[in-house]
Amino acid sequence: MFDLHSNQKHQSINIVTLLILFVLGSLIAITAELPYGGWVQIPLLSLAWWRLSSEVHLSRMKFFILGMAFGLGYFVAGLWWLYISLHDVGGMNVLLSCMAVFLLSAYMALYFSIASLSIRLFKISYVTGLFLAAGWVVSEYLRGEIFTGFPWMGFAEAQINGPFAPIAPFFGGLACTFFVIWTSWEIAQIKRRWLVSTIGIASVIAVSQLAGLFTFTKPFGEPISVRLIQGNFEQSLKLNPLAISQQIDFYANEIKKEAANLIIIPETAFPWPQNNLPPGLINYLQDFSNKSASNILLGLIGEVKNNSEIQYTNRAVGLSPNTAPYQYDKAHLVPFGEFIPLGFQWFVKAFHVPMSDFASGGFKQAPFNVAPKDQTPILAAITICYEDVFGGELASRIRNNTQATNLLINITNLAWFGKSQAPAQQLRLSQLRSLETGLPALRATNTGITAVLGADGRVLQILPEFTQATLSTQVQAYSGKTPYVNWGDVPILSISCLLLIWGLMRHRRF
């Protein structure tokens, strides 16, 4: 045992406890990949709360350190694939790459640790689980907002395979997180008050499952034919002119192979600034769109004028029969990959990323009409890459759009992360977005996972990863809005803040 400030046994941190919490964090992150990972995470979390609640005699700082150990284990296991993009693809030094993954994990762990302080701050009682869950929700919300946000690897995404997925259409992923934390805390308390905790847990899970009987959106119009093209091009070839030319040719030829109501290629499938693409390429595809009555969505690099300078954008261009091209520029950019935070030029130089300071599109861009020609519009909300991580932003876009949204489309390129769990993690996030909005989703990716999702978040069709293939299918659009689209995160955040205020007032009376 070691002591940071005194030699008193009751004020020391047990290194075994640190290791146990680190391992538990890692296991909880790993179990998210299991078929029933959302169920398995809950009892594992209860072990973490049981261990932490036995250390409430420690000072707040030392308790905070224990929370950091838990969070570090969780995020190092869950985000290790960033090493692939930094070292294997970006060419960064091994030590710097490891350090970058560790520092990001440590930053993410801060939020977990702050939330865990609820156990230490509030006197343990029958309502401590509510305070812990409320603190976790507020912490997770802030993790998705501060410094542009990075809410990846929240507990909500694993609930796609867990008991609380049906809550998402009502109150969103943060509400799922609330019930995961509360339930896991109550499991840890079963020995102390087995009857009350058991009844509470069973009741909450039963109500959650009953919530799944409600639907808020319904089929709209006739199914449309869709082709999702997965090129499977290595990220390392993106800077090779010959490879770029071959990639452009591949996608152009695949698009023209067969007509469909909607044809989609991935993010930056044309990995070259739009004005530098082969002469006549866009017109060539527009002619095919006109003749075949196909809507085509292209992932490429756009260009915009910022004062007198040209800036690049991560862009989706939509081509429709005899119609001016549609354009969507990615609004929520990736720090370091797409924009450079102030003072971090040195990091980007070490990363060797070209065109890493993109311009951002607005959050009020129009949806893309993917309906067959002369039929009732079917409007698709476009997201690029990790924009579909931000459920509140997507719900806000749909809520504030003057026309109803009927479909979600995400184009992405996860070749940066090699053969890791990153594609599966983003697939679960896309599933959560479909659940929250009650809308089907199309995912067109470079190396995977290309998939069609139902309005209930289920995977309807999927392509194997790291294969060059096309997914051809029929997709049913939906209309309507879920409570989450109408209300966003306001209800669960309001409840959580009120609980924390109550907890603080209650704490002061003791």
- Residues classed as catalytic: 267, 330, 385
**Residue 162, burial from CB neighbour count under 10 angstroms (0-12, 13-18, 19+):** buried
End-to-end CA distance of the chain: 31
**Residue 405, burial from CB neighbour count under 10 angstroms (0-12, 13-18, 19+):** buried
**Cα–Cα distance measured from residue 128 to residue 358, given in angstroms and rounded to the nearest whole number:** 45
Running DSSP on this structure, what letter comes out for residue 335? B
Do residues 341 and 147 lie in contact, with contact meaning Cβ atoms separated by under 8 Å?
A: yes
**Cα–Cα distance measured from residue 380 to residue 226, given in angstroms and rounded to the nearest whole number:** 13
Which residues share a beta bridge with 453?
441, 459
Q: Give one DSSP letter per residue of 345-359, joined into a string.
A: HHHHHHHT-TT--PP
HSE at residue 454, side-chain half, CA atoms within 13 A, is 9
| CA 75 to mean position of chain CA atoms | 14
**Cα–Cα distance measured from residue 441 to residue 460, given in angstroms and rounded to the nearest whole number:** 10
**Residue 214, burial from CB neighbour count under 10 angstroms (0-12, 13-18, 19+):** exposed
Residue entry with tokens 């995470």: 41
Cβ atoms within 10 Å, residue 157: 28
Do residues 372 and 224 lie in contact, with contact meaning Cβ atoms separated by under 8 Å?
A: yes
Q: What radius of gyration, in Å, describes the C-alpha atoms of the chain?
A: 24
- Between the CA atoms of 241, 245, 246 and 252, what dihedral angle is there, to the nearest 10 degrees? 160
CA angle (246 as vertex; 333, 278 as ends), nearest 5: 75
**Cα–Cα distance measured from residue 49 to residue 38, given in angstroms and rounded to the nearest whole number:** 17
Do residues 319 and 339 lie in contact, with contact meaning Cβ atoms separated by under 8 Å?
A: no
Alpha helices in 298-360 (DSSP H): 345-351
Residue entry with tokens 């008991």: 163
Do residues 144 and 390 lie in contact, with contact meaning Cβ atoms separated by under 8 Å?
A: yes
Running DSSP on this structure, what letter comes out for residue 55? T
- Enter the tokens of residue 509: 């009376």
Q: Which helix or strand (DSSP H or E) is residue 60 part of?
A: helix 60-79
- Number of helices (H) and strands (E) in the chain: give both, helices first: 17, 15
